[in-house]
Protein backbone atom coordinates (compact mmCIF):
# COMPACT_ATOMS: atom_id res chain seq x y z
CA UNK A 1 0.00 0.00 0.00
CA UNK A 2 0.98 3.59 -0.55
CA UNK A 3 0.17 6.07 2.20
CA UNK A 4 -0.76 9.49 0.80
CA UNK A 5 -0.35 12.45 3.16
CA UNK A 6 -2.11 15.32 1.47
CA UNK A 7 -5.25 16.95 2.79
CA UNK A 8 -5.61 14.17 5.31
CA UNK A 9 -4.67 10.55 5.53
CA UNK A 10 -5.63 8.12 2.79
CA UNK A 11 -4.59 4.68 1.60
CA UNK A 12 -4.21 3.85 -2.05
CA UNK A 13 -3.41 0.43 -3.46
CA UNK A 14 -0.91 0.38 -6.34
CA UNK A 15 0.43 -2.49 -8.45
CA UNK A 16 3.65 -3.65 -6.79
CA UNK A 17 5.51 -4.33 -10.05
CA UNK A 18 4.80 -0.84 -11.41
CA UNK A 19 5.71 0.80 -8.11
CA UNK A 20 9.00 -1.13 -8.01
CA UNK A 21 9.84 -0.07 -11.58
CA UNK A 22 9.09 3.56 -10.77
CA UNK A 23 11.21 3.42 -7.62
CA UNK A 24 14.16 1.89 -9.48
CA UNK A 25 13.87 4.54 -12.19
CA UNK A 26 13.90 7.34 -9.63
CA UNK A 27 16.84 5.71 -7.85
CA UNK A 28 18.78 5.65 -11.14
CA UNK A 29 18.07 9.37 -11.66
CA UNK A 30 19.17 10.14 -8.10
CA UNK A 31 22.41 8.23 -8.53
CA UNK A 32 23.06 9.97 -11.85
CA UNK A 33 22.55 13.41 -10.32
CA UNK A 34 24.73 12.53 -7.34
CA UNK A 35 27.44 11.43 -9.78
CA UNK A 36 27.30 14.84 -11.48
CA UNK A 37 28.00 16.53 -8.15
CA UNK A 38 31.26 14.59 -7.83
CA UNK A 39 32.47 15.69 -11.29
Q: Rounded to whole angstroms, how far apart are CA atoms 27 and 34?
A: 10
The pLDDT, as a whole number, for residue 24 is 96
pLDDT at site 22: 92
**Would the pTM count as exceeding 0.75?**
no
Please give the sequence-ordered ranges of beta strands (E in DSSP) within the chain, or none if there are none: 2-6, 8-12
pLDDT digits (tens, 9 = 90+) for 8-29: 777 777 788 888 899 999 999 9
pLDDT attached to residue 13: 78
Amino acid sequence: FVLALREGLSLQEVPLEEAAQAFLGLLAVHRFLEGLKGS
